[in-house]
Structure 1
Amino acid sequence: MRQPAPPASPPRASRPTLQSVLRRAHLRLAFVAVAMAAVSLIVVAVIALRAYAGNNLNLLARSLGYTVEAALVFGDRIAAAEAIGEIAGKEDVAEVIVTDGKGLPFAAWQLPADSAIARLERQVAGIALPGPVTTLVLHDGIVVGHVEVHGQGRQFFGFLLGGIGGILACLAISVFGAYVSSQRLLHNIVAPLRALADVAHAVRRERAFEQRVEPVAIAELNQLGDDFNALLDELEEWQNNLREENASLEHQANHDALTGLPNRVQFEWCLERALCGAAETGQRVAVLYLDCDHFKEVNDCLGHEAGDAVLIGIAARVRMQLREADLVARLGGDEFVVMLTPMREAASAGRIAEGLLASMAPTIVLPDGRTVATTMSIGVALYPDHASDAIGLLRAADAAMYRAKRAQPGSWQFAEGVAGPA
């Protein structure tokens, strides 16, 4: 039965960076602080201005009452209208109404509101300023009329516009200051964290354990960097130890523990690579199979420690007779093998074999001071003359070595198929 497809996982939301979070927090804090301060100042200013406007209207109403007192007594409406018009036109007044002692209209003055701004001013004044102020007009202690004054609100409206503009200006300055402050703070906080993240990424991707985080001014971030560097120190030490152990294990797997020469596995791998290169270039590769004569008698008569010293001495002498590009390995016991590459002619391999035999002529001094004389038998095989692969070349050289040992210990021979001196 066909299994239903698993539901698709929702897309992973992108996380905000620390820099964006801190910047938004600074801007939000600056906006809230400025807004609260501005609102508080405006509320206090409105209360104070409202009280001031109320007192001003009371004073103006009294002044108008004194002015129109005579006109009310003598019933001169024209004089009253001219008087209140002359005074009200210079003040922040929208309307003045004068009534007589019976409450009947006597005179009035009104500021024209022919523009949208004037109408808006009156609406704002009606909401924010105190209501119309009414005062009595007395003559010899008798009420002869009333004066009612309505405020215009132009000063209040101008103050309100100025306050809003001031708030916006302060808000802009505060936002700019918060931005500059946040940039400086981000440089002090985000930059060290970003440097630490860069080092962590380099360590994770490139294994660059040698990198370190630089010291910073902030104590907590500096402590974090120190702890991170201490962790890197441990990781670097662990990596170095692991590399040394791997190198040691690799060396042990590919080299002889006694002589330090490559072992059979390493030699065969190198020989196969050399044969592949020789197949492309058309050059020869020579293999020399070396076996120590009468080595068993050395072990039996002088002991294994003496035998080990003899093998170490033979390995050193063989290595000294070879070129830098040549390779010598210990196959096991008293058997050694040499690879000569490149080899242009067979006679060169024969000359190197003779040089190796000659290097064995001096006796080997043992650690206890005794000396041992030793000889070697060598078999020489060439690629592609005697074999086309590594195993065949080693077998041909081994067979030639045994023929040389049987014919005359301490001599060398070519593999069958190539003539050479015995």
Structure 2
Amino acid sequence: MRQPTPPVSPPRTPRPTLQSVLRRAHLRLAFVAIAMAAVSLIVVAVIALRAYASNNLNLLARSLGYTVEAALVFGDRVAAAEAIGVIANEEDVAEVVVTDAKGLPFAAWHLPAGNATARLEREVAGIALPGPVTTLVLHDGIVVGHIEVRGQGHQFFGFLLGGLGGIVACLAVSVLGAYVSSQRLLRNIVAPLHALAGVAHAVRRERAFERRVEPVAIAELNQLGDDFNALLDEFEDWQNSLREENASLEHQASHDALTGLPNRVQFESRLARALGEAAVTGQRVAVLYLDCDRFKEINDCLGHEAGDVVLIGIAARLRMQLREADLVARFGGDEFAVMLAPMREAASAGRIAEEVLASMAPTIVLPDGHTVATMMSIGVALYPDHACDAIGLLRAADAAMYRAKRARPGSWQFAEGVAGPA
């Protein structure tokens, strides 16, 4: 049976950064503001220019009327054409048409076609500027003709090009201003947020609860940083408390509650590591198994509190007799074990056992002022002479301890196979 094809998740679209969003927002805002201002100014300027152009054409038409009045009265078409040509060439005029009193053409002047720019100016003027201006030519109050004047649009076209150039220049300046502003925002807004995000990532990935967000100038971002730091304080306290609880539980799991010595589990684990190292270096490891000979009598006659004091005193004396590299542990009840690693000579283990027995000779003072004497029986086993693993070495030392106890309480013996004083 054909297995169904698992659905393919669509590719993740990269998210824009805060800096790019702010930069685009600045550019859009600047573009809209400048465009609206430019359009408003151009509309107002076009209205004003239309009014100006209309007034100018009216004045020009009346001036031309005074000029051709005599030519109309006397019917001199050539003089009329020359007169309007002289004036029209100096003005922003595209066409002048003179008609007589009956409306018949009398004289005319037209601006030469010119290049493409001139034709474009006239087309723009025909759309944006007012239509031709017509005025009467009077002589002694009698209408002798009409004059129609149409503007060229050169000035208007120049103004339009200048306005568009100004808009482009303003847009360029706004882009530069938006870039500078975005850089400032990067320092004032984006950079603090990046720092906060960096601390958050360090806390999440590395559990670096000691990291803190630095103060910033912006009040809202500074408050956000303070709240985040307060949250980190709580997390750090919680982590420290959890670490202390874990350390306490770990210590309780691997140490004796009464004496503070390592327990059997930790002793066997460290003994196994020491045997592994000794197998590489070729050195010996010694184990001393100790038992208090009169502990049951002390516990039954003087009480459990006295027994606890005796066990604590034995543990303290064992610590004083050993090197820092050695390990002493309590296995439970009145049984203790000592690991001596490394050991170069078997005789050194015997000397240490005798020193331990000697340290037990002084009496132990109880809380009520009474004193009690105690003795220890010790069994000594060596690696690799008596066993090659931790369990076997402990069994050999335990058996040697019981032989020493049966032979004479308060003595020590080597495990079977190695001669030692009884």
What letter matches 2:356 in structure 1?
L
Residue 134 of structure 2 corresponds to: 134
What is the alpha-carbon distance in structure 1 between the residues aligned to residue 364 and residue 354 of structure 2? 19
Alignment of 1:244-263 (within 5 A): 244-263=244-263
Residue 355 of structure 1 corresponds to: 355
What letter matches 1:8 in structure 2?
V
What is the alpha-carbon distance in structure 2 between the residues aligned to residue 265 and residue 243 of structure 1? 22
1:371 aligns with 2:376: no
What is the alpha-carbon distance in structure 2 between the residues aligned to residue 277 and residue 361 of structure 1? 35
What is the alpha-carbon distance in structure 2 between the residues aligned to residue 364 and residue 396 of structure 1? 30
Residue 175 of structure 2 corresponds to: 175
Mapped contact 1:255–1:261 kept (Cα < 8 A): yes
Q: C-alpha displacement at 1:84, in angstroms?
A: 0.9
Residue 55 of structure 2 corresponds to: 55
Deviations 1:367-408 (A, max 9, x none): 111111111111110000000110100011011111111111
Alignment of 1:30-69 (within 5 A): 30-69=30-69
Residue 403 of structure 1 corresponds to: 403
Q: 82-91 vs 142-151, which deviates more?
A: 142-151
Q: 327-336 vs 365-374, which deviates more?
A: 365-374
Residue 237 of structure 1 corresponds to: 237
Q: 208-217 vs 172-181, which deviates more?
A: 172-181
SS of the equivalent of 1:130 reads: coil
What letter matches 2:221 in structure 1?
L
What letter matches 1:282 in structure 2?
G
Q: 169-178 vs 287-296, which deviates more?
A: 169-178
Q: C-alpha displacement at 1:178, in angstroms?
A: 2.7
SS of the equivalent of 2:386 reads: coil
Q: C-alpha displacement at 1:347, in angstroms?
A: 0.8
What is the alpha-carbon distance in structure 2 between the residues aligned to residue 134 and residue 306 of structure 1? 133
SS of the equivalent of 2:382 reads: strand
Tell me how large the CA RMSD over aligned residues is: 1.3
What letter matches 2:37 in structure 1?
A
Length-normalised TM-score, structure 2: 0.97
SS of the equivalent of 2:377 reads: strand
Q: 218-227 vs 283-292, which deviates more?
A: 218-227
What is the alpha-carbon distance in structure 1 between the residues aligned to residue 157 and residue 84 of structure 2? 24
Q: C-alpha displacement at 1:102, in angstroms?
A: 2.4
What letter matches 1:51 in structure 2?
A
What is the alpha-carbon distance in structure 2 between the residues aligned to residue 411 and residue 403 of structure 1? 10
Q: 241-250 vs 140-149, which deviates more?
A: 140-149
SS of the equivalent of 1:328 reads: strand
Residue 157 of structure 2 corresponds to: 157
Residue 324 of structure 1 corresponds to: 324
Deviations 1:246-278 (A, max 9, x none): 111111110001100000000000000111111
Mapped contact 1:288–1:339 kept (Cα < 8 A): yes
Structure 1: give runs of 5+ residues left out of the alignment: none
Residue 299 of structure 1 corresponds to: 299
Deviations 1:215-258 (A, max 9, x none): 22222222222221111111111111111111111111100011
Mapped contact 1:22–1:186 kept (Cα < 8 A): no
Alignment size in residue pairs: 422
What is the alpha-carbon distance in structure 1 between the residues aligned to residue 178 and residue 254 of structure 2? 67
Residue 227 of structure 2 corresponds to: 227
SS of the equivalent of 1:421 reads: coil
What is the alpha-carbon distance in structure 2 between the residues aligned to residue 102 and residue 304 of structure 1? 146
Length-normalised TM-score, structure 1: 0.97
Residue 388 of structure 1 corresponds to: 388
SS of the equivalent of 1:211 reads: coil
What letter matches 2:26 in structure 1?
H
Deviations 1:176-203 (A, max 9, x none): 2233223323432222222111111111
What letter matches 2:61 in structure 1?
A
What letter matches 1:297 in structure 2?
E
Q: C-alpha displacement at 1:3, in angstroms?
A: 4.7
What is the alpha-carbon distance in structure 2 between the residues aligned to residue 7 and residue 318 of structure 1? 68
What is the alpha-carbon distance in structure 1 between the residues aligned to residue 168 and residue 157 of structure 2? 17
